[in-house]
């Protein structure tokens, strides 16, 4: 476990509507900023109209991906606005469960009142239960734990929908051409909802029968897809990336060793897409990349440059803001946000970003994507 810092002190356009409506549901109106607080202070009074501040720890999956940095910034801003003390911790990488467990144990030892966590896997569940038994309110961000009731509620993107959008776009863009597909996933050694939901959503959007939507890799490796004009497909590989650029490159190289005919690459996130693009370029293979995150840089920048064909944008800064607001509200006698209808989490919205709109698939362009990236608006 590592600590980044301590802050002791702040489908179509329709999918962006959450930015105000979600905030209203968990306490605050849609709005900006606040500062980063005073690093290193502890347990001081003040803020939010006076009184002792509410200590909350945010635990992200790692500290390198800009997505998690945005989430950390959102928590700091909300802490400043809500009069909460925010401690930020993270795993060494997106597979580091033990680092997150240590961070939870530290939060318990400090006597924190709330924990926000993007869980790295089921290995953190027992520690979360221990925290809740100690009276700490725990809300998940981004990734729904398995089972979902491990936490009080999860605030997240509809990751299946995010995958489905890029799958629909890819199917329509192929225009009847055979799809020779590489699937660059998150893990191969553990099961995480964000991993299978994006992968299985993508294939569903393509019009490929996924059989079990909670399991990667059990679909037929060849067959017909029905998205767009429909056509033949072949799945060449499922490779883990850990959500990072270097391992994304390695995963793509492994896929290319199996086939140089790959023309469509699904990636779990934009860092892995950047690594895949490097490997494709080095091999002289042209393929359409699709991804999820919609980050300000390099995500939307890579869509604008044509490196990524389309990406599903999510809003981590806003997730963290809403999480801090929700814990403060609960501690002051309110209730946790309710899950969205038909889902096991509170949906904060998603939008497809592309410079090449596909018929029948709602999307926004990169100009709007830059305006909305990470949930800044």
pLDDT band at 48 (very low <50, low <70, confident <90, very high): very low
DSSP string, 321-343: HHHHHHHHHHHTT--PPPPPTTS
Residue 46 has pLDDT above 80, yes or no: no
pTM reported for the whole predicted model: 0.82
298 contact partners, CB below 8 Å, separation of at least 6: 270, 274
| Model pLDDT, residue 297 | 84
Residue 263's region, left for phi above 0, alpha for psi from -120 to 50, else beta, is: alpha
CA–CA dist 81, 15 (Å, integer): 25
Lowest mean pLDDT among 19-23, 73-77, 253-257, 302-306: 19-23
Q: In the chain, what are the domains? A: 2-157+315-338 (3.40.50.2300), 159-313+352-375 (3.40.50.2300)
Residue 64 has pLDDT above 90, yes or no: no
Residue 204 has pLDDT above 60, yes or no: yes
Q: Is the link from the previous residue into 28 a cis peptide, with omega within 30 of 0? A: no
Place of tokens 């033990």: 98
Residue 372, token pair as written in the block: 């909305």
Lowest mean pLDDT among 17-26, 91-100, 238-247: 17-26
Residue 264, token pair as written in the block: 């469509």
Residue 246 has pLDDT above 70, yes or no: yes
pLDDT > 90: percent of the chain: 83
Q: What is the mean pLDDT of residues 235-257?
A: 97
| Model pLDDT, residue 41 | 26
CA–CA dist 316, 294 (Å, integer): 10
| Helix or strand run (H / E) with residue 236 | strand 231-240
φ, ψ of residue 39 in degrees (nearest 5)? -60, 135
pLDDT in tens, 321-363: 999 999 999 999 999 999 999 999 999 999 999 999 999 999 9
73 contact partners, CB below 8 Å, separation of at least 6: 36, 317, 320
Q: What is the mean pLDDT of residues 283-296?
A: 96
| Model pLDDT, residue 100 | 98
Please, where are the H alpha helices in the chain?
18-26, 66-82, 97-110, 125-133, 159-174, 193-206, 245-258, 270-283, 301-304, 316-331, 366-372
pLDDT in tens, 121-144: 999 999 999 999 999 999 999 999
Residue 30 has pLDDT above 70, yes or no: no
């Amino acid at each position: 476990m590592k600590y980044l810092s301590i802050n002791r002190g702040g489908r179509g356009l329709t999918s962006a509507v959450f930015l105000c409506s979600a905030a209203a549901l968990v306490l605050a109106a849609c709005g900006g900023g606040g500062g980063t607080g005073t690093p290193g202070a502890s347990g001081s009074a003040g803020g939010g109209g006076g009184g002792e501040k509410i200590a909350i720890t945010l635990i992200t999956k790692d500290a390198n991906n800009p997505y998690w940095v945005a989430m950390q910034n959102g928590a700091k801003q909300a802490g400043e606005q809500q009069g909460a003390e925010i401690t930020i911790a993270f795993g060494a990488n997106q597979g580091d469960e033990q680092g997150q467990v240590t961070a939870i144990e530290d939060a318990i030892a400090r006597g924190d009142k709330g924990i926000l966590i993007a869980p790295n896997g089921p290995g953190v569940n027992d520690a979360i239960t221990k925290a809740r038994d100690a009276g700490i309110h725990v809300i998940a961000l981004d990734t729904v734990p398995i089972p979902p009731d491990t936490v009080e509620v999860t605030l997240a993107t509809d990751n299946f929908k995010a995958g489905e959008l890029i799958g629909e776009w890819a199917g329509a863009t192929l225009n009847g051409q055979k799809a020779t597909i590489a699937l660059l996933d998150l893990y191969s050694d553990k099961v995480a909802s964000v991993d299978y939901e994006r992968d299985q959503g993508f294939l569903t959007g393509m019009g490929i029968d996924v059989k079990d939507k909670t399991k990667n890799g059990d679909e037929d490796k060849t067959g017909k897809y029905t998205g767009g004009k429909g056509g033949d497909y072949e799945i060449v590989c499922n490779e883990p990336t850990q959500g990072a650029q270097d391992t994304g490159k390695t995963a793509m190289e492994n896929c290319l060793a199996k086939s140089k005919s790959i023309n469509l690459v699904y990636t779990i996130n934009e860092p892995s897409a950047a690594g895949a693009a490097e490997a494709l370029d080095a091999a002289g293979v042209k393929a359409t990349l699709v991804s999820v995150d919609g980050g300000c840089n390099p995500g939307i920048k890579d869509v604008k440059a044509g490196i990524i064909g389309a990406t599903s944008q999510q809003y981590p800064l806003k997730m963290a803001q809403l999480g801090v607001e929700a814990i403060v509200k609960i501690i002051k006698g309110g209730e946790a946000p309710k899950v969205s209808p038909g889902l096991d989490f509170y949906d904060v919205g998603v939008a497809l970003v592309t410079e090449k709109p596909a018929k029948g698939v709602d999307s926004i362009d990169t100009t709007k994507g830059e305006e909305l990236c990470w949930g800044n608006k």
